[in-house]
Structure 1
Amino acid sequence: MLAVQPRARLVYRFIVVTSASIVAGLISVLALAPAQERADLVVANSDECRTLDPHLATWTHETRLCQSLYEGLTRLDPQSLRPVPGVAESWEVSEDGRVYTFHLRPQARWSNGEPVTAADFVNAWERSLNPRTGSDYSHQAFIVRRAGDYHASIAAHDADRARPVLPFDQVGVRARDGRTLEVTLERPCAYFLEMLAMVPFWPMHRPTYERTEAYVWPESFSGQPYDAGLDNPSRRHVATRAAHFVGNGAFRLAAWQFKRRIRLEKNPQYWDAANVRVRTIDVLPVADANTRFLGFETGAWDLTTDPPPLVARRLTDLVRAGRRRDYYNQDLLATYFYRFNCTRFPTDDKQVRRALSLAVDRRAICEQVLGCDQVPATAFVPYPTVEAMARLDSRGRRHTYQPPEALRFDPLAARQTLVDAGWSYPTPADAPAKDGRPFPVLEITYNTDRRHQLVAAAVARMWQQHLGLRVQVRNVELKVFYERERKLDYMISRGSWFADYVDPAAMLLPWTGDSGHNRTGWWCPEYDALLAAAEAELDVARRFALLAQAEGLLTVDELPVMPLFYYTGSTLISERVGGLRPNVRNLPFLHAAYVRQEGER
C-alpha cells in the first residue's frame, strides 16, 4: 500500500470528508495501489483515461496526460502559453504565410532510443486524418492543404467503393529528408504554431503500431487503386500498453494498472531531459471530489482539481485571508454547457432549445449551487479571458474579441417561446401539450461527478418550475457516456470545452459539421461558411467580427449547445511541489515540475 504522509494542515469540520464513507473511499483508492515507492509527484484525476493513443484521446484529462508522453514540432511555454521549439529546433515561413519548413533536432529521440524523423510526422498525420481511425480532432488538421479533401474522400469511398481515395501524397505535408518537414497550408493561420502542440499533430512510432497490428499504412497495400490506411479497433489499445509503448515526450509510460494507477518515468531519451527534474509521476483515478480533497489534505497526492463546491468556497475565503497558499482559482478559457440532441424530438426544434435556455438562471447556478467564482455564461467564448486572446494587427494595434451577449434568464419569455413553438398550457399550472400530447419527459445525462449532479438537479428544477416540464437526470460512467453521446443516444448531455489554443476560434470550431466534437446532430452551412471566412481573413478586426457573427448563430439563433458558466480553475498544488502554476488553459506542464528541497521556496 502507498504510505500516506500526513501533513500539519487543517481538515475542516464543516466538510463531509470526515464521514466514514469518504474515508473508506480514500482507503480503497490507496489499497488498490500495488506496494511500491511513492512517486515524486502524485496526481489525482477525476476519471480514468480511456486511452493514451494521441489520435483517440478526447477528454481533457486524457490529452493533458498525453502531453507528457508525446511532443509535437512545437510545445507551449508554461508561462506565456506561446509556442516554442519542440521537436523542431527551428523553422522558416514563406512570404505568403502558407509554407512552413521545419528542421528537427538531431537529438530528438523516441523513448526506445530511435531518432524522431520527419516521416514519423507524415505517418501520424495520415492516421489522424483518416476517418477510419475515428479521431475527434482530425478536423483541426484541415488547415493543411487538401487534408479535408483526403478525409472526405475516404468517407465517400467507404460509402461507395466506386469513388476513389485521394492519395495522401496530395496532402500538404512531406518529409524532404529525415530531419526536414515541409507543411503547406490552405491559407495563412496566425495560430498554426500553437496548433502544432496539439494531439492531431504529434508524431507516432510507426513500427510499434505495425508490430502490434494496430494500424496498416496505405503504402503497405499492393495493387490499385490507392486506398487509405486501415485501423484495427481490436488491437489499437495494445500499442499503448506499457510493454509496447514508445513515445517522444518528457516521460515514458512505465505501468498502467487500469482504474488503479498510471506510472510515468522520466524519459532519458528526451532531448531536454536535463531540465526534467521529476523522476516518477503517479496518476490515480479518483472520481469522488471529497475523496480527492481528503487525499490531498493527508498528503496522499500533490496535485488535484475541482474540490466539492462547499470546500471550494471555504478554500477561496482562506486564500483571500492569507491562510492558504496551495489553492488556486482563476478564469479559464473553458465553458461548461449542455448539448442538445438536434435529431431527437423535442430538442430538434430550435424554439424549444431557446425556451429551455431562457428558463435557466445561470447566476443562481454559479452563486448558490457552485459558489467558486464561476461566471455565468453569456455566450460560448468566455469573456473573462478575452484579453488573453487579444491579437495585434499589421500596424501593431491591439484588438480584443467581443463575444455576443446572447444568453439571459427570462422565464416569462421562455414560456412564450414554447407557446410560439406550438405548445400550449391549458392552465398556468398544467404541463405544456401539443395536439393533445403532453411535452415529453426530458432526460439530462451526465458522467459521474458531484458537481455535474448538482448542476443537473438545479437545471431540472428550473425547467420544472418555470416551464412545467418533467425532467429526469441520469448518471452514467464516463466511457458509456462518451459512446452514447457519439451515437446521439441521448436527449440532453452535459459537456465542457477547454480551448486547445488561445484564440476564440478554438471555442467555435468544434461546432462545425465535420467536427468529431460536435456530437449534437446539428449542422449549419452558414455557420461553417462564417468560420471558413474568418480563418481566411488576414485583417484581425474583420476576422474577430466574422467569428462573433458565427457565435451569434451558435448561441442566439440555433442553440445546439446551451452554455451555462465559464470555468474557473480550482486547483490544489502541494507546497512541496514547484514549477506548476495554473493558466487559462488549465494545463499542468508536468515536465516543469520539481520537488522542493527543505526550506526551498
Structure 2
Amino acid sequence: MKLKSFLFIGIVSLTLYSCNNSEGSQPSAAKKEAKGGVVYGGTFDFSANDKIGLLYPPSIVDVHTNYIASHVYEGLVKFNPKDLSIEPGLAESWTISDDKLTYTFKLRKGVKFHNDDCFPDGTREVNAKDVKFTFEQLCKKDAYNKLFSTLMKDVVVGANEMYNGNAGELKGLKIVDNYTVEITLTKPLSYFLYLLANAGCYIFPEEAYNKYKEKTFIGTGPFMVPKNITSNIQNLETVILVRNDNYYLKDKHGNQLPYLDTIALHVIDSKKQELKKFMNKELEIVDGLPSESIKDVVEQQIADFQNQPPKFVLERVPKMATQYYDLNIHKDVLSNIKVRKALNYAINKTKIIDEVLKGEAYGPAVHGIVPPAFKGYDVSKIKGYDYDPETAKKLLAEAGFPNGKNFPTLKIELNSGGYKNTKVAFEIQKQLMENLNINVDLEIVDFSQKMEDEQMLKGDIFRSAWIADFPSPESFLMMFYGKLVPEDISAPSFPNTTRYQNPKFDELFEKAQITENQEERFSLLEEAEQLVINDAPIIPLWYMEDYVMIHSYVRNFYTNPMGSYNLTRVYFKERTKAIDKKD
C-alpha cells in the first residue's frame, strides 16, 4: 500500500525517461511512413493468462476471447476506446423513435466481409439480411448460444417466442431495405445501444456459419484469422491475426486502416514471465502488473531514465471490475443465509490486498458488487461486510454450527490465473479455519471447466470476476436479475450463475431499465444492490485496478476501465520528445 502512495498520489501515469535513444525492434521494423506521420507495419504482441474460446459471437463470454473477436468482427455500434462512448460501427447512423421503442439503423455501403471461399465470389457486401441473421442466431436455443439471456430475452419483440420455438423469425427486427433495419424493443431500455456493442451482436454472414458452424471466424473487422489456424484456434498458445487490406475505414488523412501488419495474443500464465518478455521487447504491453514488480522496475530504472524521450509509460487504471466468490445458495448449508453472511464477515479483505495481492487492487469490496468506477453511482450507500470475526462466529452458531462443529467441508473451485487466484484461495482457506473452524478444500481446473461448473452450479463456491460489458452499473446487477434464470434446472445459467431470485430486486431493476433520469435510475439500482448484498449470494472480495506498462513507441493506444483493446489505429514510431497527454 505504501508503494501506491509513493508512486501515484496526484498523478495518473508515470513516464520513465531514457538517457539513450536506442531504437526498439518494432519501430525499426516498420517501413512505410504515411500522411500525418503515421507508420505502417509491425506486429502488436500482447498476452492473456488463458487460451481463447470459440470465435462464434453468441458464445463469447470471456475477455480473452473478445481481445481477438473484437478485431475480427464489428457490430452496428462500438465503444470509443478513449471514453467508452458509443460510436458508429457497421451502422453509419441511427434514429430512435419518440417512445424509445424503435431503433432504425442505416448501414454503411461498400463494407465487405473477409475473403473466404464460403462466398461464391470470394467475398460480398454486408447488408440488412446479415443483421437479421446475426440477431436470429442470438435467439436460437442451442448449446453455443450463451448470450440470449443477456442481450435478447425480454428486450427485443419476439425474441422470447423465437427462443422457445414458437416463432420461426425475429418479429422485432424488420428489414426496411438493403441498408436499413428497424429493431423494436418490448420496453424502453436506457442502455440498449451499449448492448449492441457487446460481442454477441457482432455481425457475421450466414454463408460462413453454414460452412464452419460454431467455428466460424469471418467478420468485417480490421484484422482476419489466417486460414492455417482456424481449425484449432482454441488450442493455440499464440493466436495471430493479419491485416484486412479491404477494411472500410480510413484515418483523417485518408490513410487506409489498420496500420499494423499483424497482432498476436500469447498465452502467458506468469506475470513475471510476461514482464520479462516486455522488457525484452517481445510484448508491447504488460497489463495487470503486480505492484512488487512495478517497485522493482521503478527502483532499477529510475536512476538511468531521467531524460527525454520516454522509454515506457506506466499507468494506474481503476477498472470497472470486481473479484468475488459465487456461492451455491441452493445447496446444503449454503442455502442458509446466516452461513453465507458468516462467510462474508469472516474474510479479511484488507489483509488479502496487503499481504497476498501486495496492493494490487483499488480497494476491498466492503460495499457491494458494483465497483466505484461509475460516475454518479454512490457505492458508499451500499452497506456490505467489513471484517468482523465475532459477528461471523455468532451467525455460524445461530445457523447450528457453534465453533464450526459438524460443519461440512466445502470446496472452492478456481482457475489458476497465473497463481494469484490460488494464493488468494489459500489465504481464504486459512482465514475460514482460523475464524470459523471450518474446512475448505481447493480444486483448480481450467477456465472453461470452471465456467461450465459455475453455470451449472456443480459445486459449492466458485472463484469469479466480472468486468463491465458496458459502462453502467446495470452490467453488474444484471447478474442477479431473476428472470434470467432458466426454468430448466439442467440448463446453464448465465450471467445469473448463482440463480439468485428476489422479486423485489427484479421490480427495482426493471423500473431502473425504463428510467431515463440517471440520478433516479442509479437510486433504484442502489436500492436493488442493497437487497442482493443483504441476501449474500456472493462474497465480494476486492475492486480491481491494474498497473499497465506500454512501450512509448506504441502510438494511439488507449487504456480504459473496461480493459478493452482497440488496435485499429495503433502504430509504432519512436519518440523524439516528451509525450503529449493528447498522444
TM normalised by structure 2 equals 0.81
- Deviation of 1:98 after TM superposition, in Å, equals 1.4
Pairs within 5 Å for 1:417-496 = 417-425=395-403, 432-433=404-405, 438-449=406-417, 450-496=419-465
- Deviation of 1:549 after TM superposition, in Å, equals 1.5
Q: Structure 1: how far apart are the matches of 2:339 and 2:300? A: 43
Residues 80, 345 of structure 1: alpha-carbon distance in 2 compared, 3 angstrom cutoff: same
Letter matched to residue 427 of structure 2: A
**Mapped pair 1:564 → 2:541:** yes
Q: Structure 1: how far apart are the matches of 2:356 and 2:82? A: 32
CA deviations over 1:472-513 (Å, ceiling 9, x no partner): 222112222222222222211111101111111111102223
Residues 148, 562 of structure 1: alpha-carbon distance in 2 compared, 3 angstrom cutoff: farther
Residues 68, 403 of structure 1: alpha-carbon distance in 2 compared, 3 angstrom cutoff: farther
Residues 40 and 281 of structure 1 are in contact (CA less than 8 Å); yes or no, is this contact kept in structure 2?
A: yes
Residues 122 and 175 of structure 1 are in contact (CA less than 8 Å); yes or no, is this contact kept in structure 2?
A: yes
**Mapped pair 1:61 → 2:83:** no
Pairs within 5 Å for 1:290-301 = 290-301=272-283
**Mapped pair 1:353 → 2:364:** no
* Correspondence for 2:6: none
* Correspondence for 2:52: 49
Pairs within 5 Å for 1:97-176 = 97-112=100-115, 113-139=123-149, 140-142=151-153, 144-150=155-161, 153-154=164-165, 165-170=166-171, 172-176=172-176
CA deviations over 1:283-306 (Å, ceiling 9, x no partner): 111122222121112121112322
Letter matched to residue 77 of structure 2: T
**Mapped pair 1:78 → 2:47:** no
- Deviation of 1:596 after TM superposition, in Å, equals 1.4
Letter matched to residue 376 of structure 1: P
Question: Could you tell which deviates more after superposition, 472-481 or 201-210?
Answer: 472-481
CA root-mean-square deviation = 2.6
Residues 596, 147 of structure 1: alpha-carbon distance in 2 compared, 3 angstrom cutoff: farther
Residues 346, 314 of structure 1: alpha-carbon distance in 2 compared, 3 angstrom cutoff: farther
Q: Structure 2: how far apart are the matches of 1:268 and 1:46? A: 30
TM normalised by structure 1 equals 0.79
Q: Structure 1: how far apart are the matches of 2:548 and 2:242? A: 23
Q: Structure 2: how far apart are the matches of 1:543 and 1:316? A: 43
- Deviation of 1:133 after TM superposition, in Å, equals 4.3
Residues 180, 311 of structure 1: alpha-carbon distance in 2 compared, 3 angstrom cutoff: same
Task: Tell me the number of residue pairs that the alignment of Structure 1 and Structure 2 aligns.
Answer: 508
Q: Structure 2: how far apart are the matches of 1:402 and 1:121? A: 42
**Mapped pair 1:329 → 2:298:** no
- Deviation of 1:442 after TM superposition, in Å, equals 1.8
Residues 361 and 542 of structure 2 are in contact (CA less than 8 Å); yes or no, is this contact kept in structure 1?
A: no
- Deviation of 1:111 after TM superposition, in Å, equals 1.1
Q: Structure 2: how far apart are the matches of 1:365 and 1:319? A: 29
Residues 579 and 593 of structure 1 are in contact (CA less than 8 Å); yes or no, is this contact kept in structure 2?
A: yes
* Correspondence for 2:266: 284
Aligned to 1:416, the other structure's residue is in SS state helix
Letter matched to residue 153 of structure 2: F
Q: Structure 2: how far apart are the matches of 1:469 and 1:299? A: 47
- Deviation of 1:384 after TM superposition, in Å, equals 2.8
- Deviation of 1:381 after TM superposition, in Å, equals 4.4
* Correspondence for 1:252: 224
Q: Structure 2: how far apart are the matches of 1:147 and 1:403? A: 38
Q: Structure 2: how far apart are the matches of 1:581 and 1:54? A: 24
Q: Among 591, 594, 599, which residue is 2:568 paired with?
A: 591
Q: Structure 2: how far apart are the matches of 1:374 and 1:314? A: 20
- Deviation of 1:320 after TM superposition, in Å, equals 9.9
Residues 588, 553 of structure 1: alpha-carbon distance in 2 compared, 3 angstrom cutoff: same
Question: Could you tell which deviates more after superposition, 191-200 or 310-319?
Answer: 310-319
* Correspondence for 1:574: 551
Residues 74 and 83 of structure 1 are in contact (CA less than 8 Å); yes or no, is this contact kept in structure 2?
A: yes
* Correspondence for 2:284: 302
Pairs within 5 Å for 1:511-526 = 511-513=480-482, 514=484, 516-526=494-504
Letter matched to residue 204 of structure 1: F
Residues 569 and 586 of structure 1 are in contact (CA less than 8 Å); yes or no, is this contact kept in structure 2?
A: no
- Deviation of 1:409 after TM superposition, in Å, equals 1.0
Aligned to 1:332, the other structure's residue is in SS state strand
Residues 55, 403 of structure 1: alpha-carbon distance in 2 compared, 3 angstrom cutoff: farther
Q: Which runs of 5+ in 1 are unaligned?
A: 1-7, 11-37, 155-164, 215-235, 240-244, 391-398, 426-431
Aligned to 1:367, the other structure's residue is in SS state helix
Residues 539, 65 of structure 1: alpha-carbon distance in 2 compared, 3 angstrom cutoff: same
Q: Structure 2: how far apart are the matches of 1:466 and 1:490? A: 23
Letter matched to residue 389 of structure 2: P
Residues 596, 39 of structure 1: alpha-carbon distance in 2 compared, 3 angstrom cutoff: closer
Letter matched to residue 289 of structure 1: K
Larger RCO: Structure 1 or Structure 2 (Cα < 8 Å, ≥ 6 residues apart)?
2
* Correspondence for 1:396: none
Letter matched to residue 96 of structure 1: D
Residues 479, 63 of structure 1: alpha-carbon distance in 2 compared, 3 angstrom cutoff: same
* Correspondence for 2:14: none
Q: Structure 2: how far apart are the matches of 1:193 and 1:67? A: 16
Q: Structure 1: how far apart are the matches of 2:516 and 2:370? A: 23
Q: Structure 1: how far apart are the matches of 2:372 and 2:456? A: 33
Residues 157 and 170 of structure 2 are in contact (CA less than 8 Å); yes or no, is this contact kept in structure 1?
A: no
- Deviation of 1:313 after TM superposition, in Å, equals 5.0
Letter matched to residue 203 of structure 1: I
Residues 598, 575 of structure 1: alpha-carbon distance in 2 compared, 3 angstrom cutoff: closer
- Deviation of 1:147 after TM superposition, in Å, equals 4.8
* Correspondence for 2:32: none
Residues 494, 151 of structure 1: alpha-carbon distance in 2 compared, 3 angstrom cutoff: farther
